[in-house]
Amino acid sequence: MPELPEAEYMVRRLREAAPEARIARVRVLRESVVAGALAKRARGCVTGYARRAKNVLMHLDTGWTVRIQLGMTGHVYRVAGAAELPRFTRVAFVLEVGGALVFEDARAFGTVSAVRTAELGEALAGYGPEPLEAGFRWQDLRAAAQGLRQEVKPFLMDQRRVAGLGNIWAAEALFGAGIHPARRVDGLLDEEWRALWRSVRAVLRRAIANTFRVTAGPEEFPEADLLRVGVYGRAGLVCRRGCGAVVERVVQGARATFYCPGCQR
Ligand SMILES: [Zn+2]
């Protein structure tokens, strides 16, 4: 499932592969992923690509922005030819110069819509702060949990609290901070918030860098284990920190959580 690093990777790749792309027409191959009128509104010249939470945004010179919510399996990238599109293409933005920007989504839980750029802030207002932004301080992470009593892992995955973290990187951030995933947010000490904040930023930055390092092309993502995860998916294996404990798997909020009982308290 795409999280912040994957979305960021897509955006950076698009900036390299299709700067100032001119969209001549839009082919919708699966109506159910499109919200509202898209075909007419998504034509024009792309003036920039951006990311907010797990959304890929394509700003157009027409005053519209194409918003792509990646869902479970969504992926946006440029293909050289538009005649034969990748198998799970749901929407293709056909470029004037040839080729297309494709939204591929095997499970088809993503959505593509056109939003007036001036109204984008409002459309995205439900998301919490961006953890990699320079102005994001440890106090902001603590403030996002104000008044909550939930466990820290589902808190980290809640896009309304902090944007971009999913199951893998929430688990990694907690491992890095030495915090047990079932700890309640109202019980975390300031030094733990500081450690968690530092860890969230570190794991996300590392994930983005490692994605570029190990990925052959923009159309594919590496498996989590290639991204040198510390704890995710490692149930039954010895902790990479060398504490001697064995990584455990529990189910938390219907999602698998991995943690080290030796390092995470
Ligand atoms: Zn350990």
Q: Work out the percent of the chain whose per-residue pLDDT is above 90.
A: 89
pLDDT of residue 214: 80
Domain residues for the domain of 227 are 138-259
pTM for the structure as a whole: 0.93
pLDDT of residue 225: 63
Tell how far the Cα of 261 is from the centroid of ligand 1, in angstroms: 7
Q: What mean pLDDT value characterizes the chain?
A: 94
Residues 116 and 19 in one domain: yes
**Is residue 130 in a domain?**
no
224 pLDDT higher than 70: no
> Quick one: average pLDDT of 97-105?
96
Name the residues annotated as catalytic. 2-3, 54, 255
**Is residue 154 in a domain?**
yes
Residues 159 and 112 in one domain: no
Q: Work out the percent of the chain whose per-residue pLDDT is above 70.
A: 96
Tokens 């039954």 -> residue: 236
Tell how far the Cα of 184 is from the centroid of ligand 1, in angstroms: 20
**Is residue 56 in a domain?**
yes
- The whole-angstrom separation of Cα 95 and Cα 21 is 7
Q: Please list the alpha-helical segments (H only) found in 119-255.
A: 120-123, 138-144, 152-157, 167-177, 190-214
> Quick one: average pLDDT of 64-88?
93
Exposure on the CB side of residue 47, measured as CA atoms within 13 A: 9
